[in-house]
Amino acid sequence: MSVEAFVPADFTACALGADEVAAAVAVAPGVEVRRTGSRGLYWLEPLVEVATDAGRIGFGPLDAASASALFGDGPPDAGHPRCLGLVEELPWLKAQSRLTMARVGVIEPLSVAQYKAHGGFQGLDRARALTSAAIVETVTEAGLRGRGGAAFPTGIKWRTVLEAEGDPKYIVCNADEGDSGTFADRMIMESDPFSLIEGMLIAGLAVGADCGYIYCRAEYPLAIDTLAAAIRLAEGAGYLNDFRLELRKGAGAYICGEETSLLESLEGKRGVIRYRPPLPAIKGLFGQPTVVNNVISLASVPAILARGSDHYRSFGVGRSTGTLTVQLAGNVRRGGLFEVPFGKPLRWVVEDLGGGTASGRPIKAVQAGGPLGAYIPPRHFDTALDYESFQAIDAMIGHGGLVVFDEAADLGALARYAFEFCAEESCGKCTPCRIGAVRGVEVVDRIRRGEAAADNRVLLRDLCRTMIDGSLCGLGGMAPLPVLSVMAHFADEL
Amino acid sequence: MRDDAIVEAARGIVERLGALEGALLPILHAVQDEFGYLPPACVPVIAKGLNLSRAEVQGVISFYPLFRAKPPGRRVVAICRAEACQAMGGAALEAHAKSALGIGFGETSADGEVTLEPVYCLGNCACPPSVTVDGVLHARVDAQRFDELIGR
């Protein structure tokens, strides 16, 4: 009888050589290779797991040569010197509360049978026995807030669409995960795509929609292929008999992660943002009532329905209920995905789980929440990871990405980059964003050259205020946040 | 490729996909998958098929960074410029790439071999800097690894 060996087929794991490792393991005697997603412990990738009676044991990071040596005489056992032990007992997994990512890295992503064996479609079964209003109520009581970054209560959004007049209604999944330092959406789509599909089906039942779109960024080719295959399999298994689900691909525009711009893009237009109101919940895709939710928001719904709102609420703090899929990135020793309850200190995540910087030098700053998020200095690292605590230090959690920088980082240059990025990605509709970002680069350059620095700092603050107050959407409205955080915490650099 | 062949292929794609809701982006992707870029001759065909003006189609093409108006080099190399990659030497890698290839972003080497493009996040942020060569992702790329990837 052969022993199962699990090798990730995730985008990052493959970039680190997982395909070559899988090929090397596959020729070993007595081994059957299964390609899973990644656990998200990327510093251990390619991580090969071997099934034993006690559970899966891990070996990593491996390359083709070390995998060949390790598996040359058949599958290695727990006594092997390179064995990391039981994977689920590794401290970095044991410290997590995996609700949304429970199956990620465990199952073969395109196996409906494994998805069901690990609790999949139980939430949908539960939802089918409930009225629309009761589903909305469950999600509202769970306290789930939009994980794309805006943190708007999902239940309230759903109720608005449920009560809106219109036929058809749409469920749109925002899978345009463009924030630097984030990859949780990608991992769900690559490693557990049925959880997203199930979440969309539940959303459809909740608001009375029978049509949905997933808008995925083109930079995620493996996620797109996996989702496309998952949709076909879900159709074949009869899950999409009453719901039409289509996958659409973006074309490199960051602004299409803004929900109204995304809707324009889905309609086949330039991704120029829309004035709000009307909200997309009232007039969204093709003018119809539309739920627009992030991947993680939707993928969190099945577990909420299956295990109840009280279970979900038992994680987290205050108004930040449930779990946050933290993505540790940049100059960090142990980079990866960590699903933890809201309320844990930033320091615990960055230093205990992350192990500090990859370079070994002290941490200078952590940028939280993507390119529009603040640079946080170490003196704020005791801040709890929840929406309100971050707001209190003029930062945001956003989509949960934390990018670590060591002492070599030039925060003035990073502030300049924030404007440069905004200028590059602005849709051009409103003046504060379109022109302000360009002027921002120029003013930062003048300060960095020492030209009338004091006057230009005043001008820069004024410009930031204008962009924050006057921009139509979050791009222009938040691009000044990293800049202001550098001015506040790293004043000698800007 | 001759314009009439482009027109014919584009017409086939419009026929196949034109009935989709919001069909323009799927059609443009399909045409670009076919030719590697969006030849000017395809624009009137798509516009007519979707009952749009040519300006509307052109406007969509020019809005999205991944739609190309010109054919790329034989290989497309994209370097991530985003913060997580900058935290691990992305800016130095970018400078090295430009000097090694002798071109800037958005340009193709004189021999038509390589097109260099910026990309803003590939979701590989735990193992930066990130580079793709013809869509294949590479992690933890330094200057030496970059030279290996482009075979120089």
Q: Say what the pLDDT of residue A58 is.
A: 98
Q: Which residues of B touch A42 (CB under 8 A)?
A: 126-127
Q: Say what the pLDDT of residue B2 is.
A: 79
Token pair 């990071």 is at which residue?
A61
Q: Say what the pLDDT of residue A73 is.
A: 87
By the 8 A CB rule, do A218 and A140 touch? Answer: no
Judged by CB atoms closer than 8 Å, whether chains meet at A16 and B139 is answered as yes
Exposure class string for A375-385: b at 16+ Cβ within 10 A, else e? bbbbebbebbb
Element (H, E) at A176: none
Q: Which residue from B minimizes the CA distance to A211? A: B21
**Which pair of structure tokens corresponds to residue A354?**
């992350």
Q: Say what the pLDDT of residue A1 is.
A: 73
What share of chain A in percent tops pLDDT 90? 100
Q: Which residues of B touch A12 (CB under 8 A)?
A: 123-124, 126-127, 137, 139
CATH dotted code for B75-150 = 3.40.30.10
By the 8 A CB rule, do A42 and A86 touch? Answer: no
φ, ψ for residue B80 (rounded to 5)? Answer: -75, 130
pLDDT tens-digit series, residues A372-387: 999 999 999 999 999 9
By the 8 A CB rule, do A367 and A373 touch? Answer: yes
* Distance (Å, whole) CA B69 – CA B86: 29
By the 8 A CB rule, do A448 and A416 touch? Answer: yes
Q: Say what the pLDDT of residue A364 is.
A: 98
Q: How far is A301 from chain B (nearest CA, A)?
A: 23
Domain boundaries, chain B: 3-63, 75-150
- Amino acid type, A219: E
* Distance (Å, whole) CA A456 – CA A450: 9
Pick from A18, A69, A74, A72: nearest CA to A48: A18
* Distance (Å, whole) CA A252 – CA B65: 5
Query: Would you give the DSSP letter of residue A89?
Result: G
Tell me which residues of chain B have a pLDDT lower than 50. Answer: none
CB-based contacts of A53, cutoff 8 Å, min separation 6: none
By the 8 A CB rule, do A24 and A17 touch? Answer: no
* Distance (Å, whole) CA A15 – CA A22: 13
Q: How far is B102 from chain A (nearest CA, A)?
A: 23
A252, A254, A327: residue with CB nearest B125:
A327
Q: Say what the pLDDT of residue B6 is.
A: 94
3-class secondary-structure state, position A416: helix
CB-based contacts of A284, cutoff 8 Å, min separation 6: A170, A172, A263, A290, A291, A292
Q: Say what the pLDDT of residue B1 is.
A: 64
Q: Which residues of A touch B63 (CB under 8 A)?
A: 253, 270-272
Q: How far is B123 from chain A (nearest CA, A)?
A: 5
Q: Which residue from A minimizes the CA distance to B80? A: A180
Judged by CB atoms closer than 8 Å, whether chains meet at A414 and B139 is answered as no
Tell me which residues of chain A have a pLDDT lower than 70. Answer: none
Q: Say what the pLDDT of residue B152 is.
A: 75
By the 8 A CB rule, do A216 and A175 touch? Answer: yes
